[in-house]
Amino acid sequence: MIRIYAARWVPPIVQGLVRDLRLRWALDEAGLEYEEVLLNREEWASDAFRRLQPFNQIPVYEEDDLILFESGAIVLHIARKAKALLPSDENRQARVTSWMFAALNTMEPPIQTLTMMDLFSAGEDWAKIRRPAAVKAVETRLDALARHLDGSDYLEDGFSAADILMTTVLRIPRHSDLIGKRRILDSYVKRCEARPAFKKALADQIASFKANEPVAA
């Protein structure tokens, strides 16, 4: 049985963005059953959990004697088990893998930096000074991505694991209009979010958070 280790609860501001969503979505697209192991912050910061994940982060993927961490690596592993997520042709497979790395290495870092700045440091002087440059960095990457997607439904021919990673990255700045004001990217995200597997994955993640919501004192 496949197990995914995920957060028992996170604040509403980040619900729907936590990276186990990528695993859930990929598994649902692949038609693979899994069970979730939900952990609180103390549990995933423990020495016991460090034996599964050396940096005490979630999510973690467990399948028999195989333990994997890093959401991109896990999605790639799942994709290799499912023809629907990774083409069999070597050249196309290599291009999809390139886009998987692009989502996590080129797109996510500047988007994550800006989002963290906006959500948690907006009132601080350093953030006010740095924000214009951070916005420009994000917009440069978004415009390049939009040029690539112009006239295409997905990053490569047909939906793939790369679209799972890219869509979850583009959902991060949902507090802003950075995606919404770019018609090509907005349509792309909505197209991917309309997939039944995404809807199920998101609903399952949110359901876990709701079931474990802290009781107000």
The whole-number pLDDT of residue 3 equals 97
CB-based contacts of 214, cutoff 8 Å, min separation 6: 9
Is 106's pLDDT higher than 80?
yes
CB-based contacts of 182, cutoff 8 Å, min separation 6: 142, 143, 146
The whole-number pLDDT of residue 87 equals 92
Is 193's pLDDT higher than 90?
yes
- Alpha helices by DSSP H, 102-182: 108-120, 125-149, 161-170
Contact 189, 171 (CB under 8 A): yes
CB-based contacts of 169, cutoff 8 Å, min separation 6: 103, 104, 107, 108, 111
- What domains, with CATH codes, occur in the chain? 2-84+197-207 (3.40.30.10), 90-195 (1.20.1050.10)
CB-based contacts of 164, cutoff 8 Å, min separation 6: 22, 25, 26, 29, 75, 85, 192
Is 86's pLDDT higher than 80?
yes
Q: Look up the pTM and report it.
A: 0.96
Average pLDDT over residues 30-57: 95
Q: What would the two tokens of residue 111 be? A: 């988007």
Is 217's pLDDT higher than 80?
no
Contact 165, 21 (CB under 8 A): no
Secondary structure element (H or E) that encloses residue 91, with its range: helix 90-101
Residues 108, 170: Cα–Cα separation, whole Å:
8
Residues 4, 59: Cα–Cα separation, whole Å:
7
CB-based contacts of 85, cutoff 8 Å, min separation 6: 26, 29, 30, 75, 78, 79, 159, 160, 161, 164
The whole-number pLDDT of residue 116 equals 94
